Amino acid sequence: MTNKSKMDRRSFLRRAAVGAPAVAAGALAAPAVLAQAPLVLKMQTSWGSGNIWQEFAQDYADRVEAMSGGRLKIDVLPAGAVVAAFQVLDAVNDGVLDIAHSVPVYWYGKNKAASLFGTGPVFGGSATTMLSWFYEGGGKALYDELVNDILGMEVDGYLGFPMFAQPFGWFKGEVNTVADLQGFKYRTVGLAADLLQSMGMSVAQLPGGEIVPAMERGVIDAFEFNNPSSDKDFGAHDVAKNYYLSSYHQASESFEFLFNKLTMEDLDPDLRAILKYGVEAASTANTAKAMRRYSADLKWLQEEAGVTVHRTSTDILNGQIEAWDKLIPVLEEDPFMKKCLDSQRAWVQDVTFYELMNAPDYALAYDHYFPGKLKL
């Protein structure tokens, strides 16, 4: 985006945000409601219109509109409405979009360090642990260094909704050992691609909406996306019947909310705050909805769609950790990557120690009240 077009956009936003009252005041016959016309911001997601994550993005937009008293309205568009799913960061930077709802791993092609803000090595911390690192452990400053200083983007980003660990995914037959994985054409994204390639899989990085068609054409023969609801929504159960839960390949991801900096600067301070802290409000709402929907849809996949749900074997999980052990030193040859990983290790060492030492054995209690259901 040229400097002139950026300035034109700033002027437009300023007129839209503050000009309407002046126009209304100068036209005696104009109804007072004109002074209350909302500023409409354009947000595109990286998700298809039928994906539960599109609902999650709308949850954010609804909260922003309510908290602003109607002064802000967000037009939520699905992937492909303006740009492709993997292109939203560029679109926000260029001012084509005001906001995007995505995940950092989708711009991994620009810099592999993107994966460290959601799908990097798992040192023992959950997604909640790592979202806390982003806000309280120095992660946001490192994220800004990557996006603004290294990549030169005029974008401000925040993370929200700590996702449950992503399933290992969908296979046509059973896979129980690392040896069983050899030669699979598998869909994943980000550093998980490097990880699983090192374990003998051939990896294709595809957005969610392209996964099932790729399975049907034989481009891939196994895949993961993220959760039972999204998987059900795009028909994963129509192309595979073995669903493996639990994995270390992407165990700590959160949504990414991307904002054009010029758009944010042109807003009143209270509206900027609503956009920023609305991420936290939506994070709580998304978590509650995910717990209800993911569990219900997992049950549907088992009972209605004939899917066999497995827990990923210890052999494969150990293999993933060993693969991370080999990959991490390679990543740390990059000084910025090493700085991020050092920061994450320090955070997890202390925070997860408390989490694990303090947490009771929930599986023990669950098995007591619902005996025989868990197969860990």
* 320 annotated to bind ligand: no
pLDDT tens profile 328-356 = 999 999 999 999 999 999 999 999 999 99
With residue 118 as reference, give the H or E element that holds it. Answer: none
Total residues found in the chain within this entry: 376
* 14 annotated to bind ligand: no
Mean of the per-residue pLDDT values for the chain?
A: 91
Q: Which of 155, 227, 221, 224 is nearest to 192 (CA)?
A: 224
pLDDT at 282: 97
Mean pLDDT, to the nearest integer, of 96-105?
97
pLDDT at 189: 87
pLDDT at 24: 41
pLDDT at 376: 77
Please say whether the beta carbons of 234 and 214 come within 8 A. Answer: no
pLDDT tens profile 206-236 = 888 899 999 999 999 999 989 999 999 989 9
- CATH tag for 3-163+252-292 (out of 3.40.190.10, 3.40.50.20, 3.40.190.170, 3.90.550.10): 3.40.190.170
Please say whether the beta carbons of 105 and 253 come within 8 A. Answer: yes
pLDDT tens profile 296-309 = 999 999 999 999 99
**Of the ranges 40-54, 68-82, 202-216, 320-334, which one carries the lowest mean pLDDT score?**
202-216
pLDDT at 8: 55
Q: Which of 233, 252, 269 is nearest to 164 (CA)?
A: 252
Please say whether the beta carbons of 247 and 121 come within 8 A. Answer: no
Beta sheet of 39-45, edge-to-edge order: 72-77, 39-45, 99-102, 254-260, 155-162
pLDDT at 234: 87
Instruction: Point out which residues pair with 156 in neighbouring strands.
Output: 259
Here the tokens at position 26 are 């100068």
Mean pLDDT, to the nearest integer, of 241-246?
96
Instruction: Point out which residues pair with 186 in neighbouring strands.
Output: 203, 222
Query: Burial of 27 by CB count in 10 Å (0-12 exposed, 13-18 middle, 19+ buried)?
Result: exposed
* 250 annotated to bind ligand: yes
* 182 annotated to bind ligand: no
pLDDT at 83: 98
Token pair 């709402």: residue: 285
pLDDT tens profile 14-39 = 444 444 444 444 444 444 444 568 99
User: What pTM value is reported for the model?
Assistant: 0.88
Indicate the pLDDT class of residue 6, thresholds 50, 70 and 90: low
pLDDT at 209: 82
**Of the ranges 5-9, 316-320, 329-333, 342-346, which one carries the lowest mean pLDDT score?**
5-9
pLDDT of 150 over the 90 cut:
yes
> Above pLDDT 70, what percent of the chain?
90
Give the span between the Cα atoms of 155 and 147, in whole angstroms: 7
Please say whether the beta carbons of 165 and 251 come within 8 A. Answer: yes
48 φ, ψ (degrees, to nearest 5): -70, 160
Token pair 């997604």: residue: 127
pLDDT at 27: 41
> Above pLDDT 90, what percent of the chain?
85
Token pair 């290790």: residue: 345
pLDDT tens profile 244-260 = 999 999 999 999 999 99
Pairing of β 222-223 and β 169-171: antiparallel
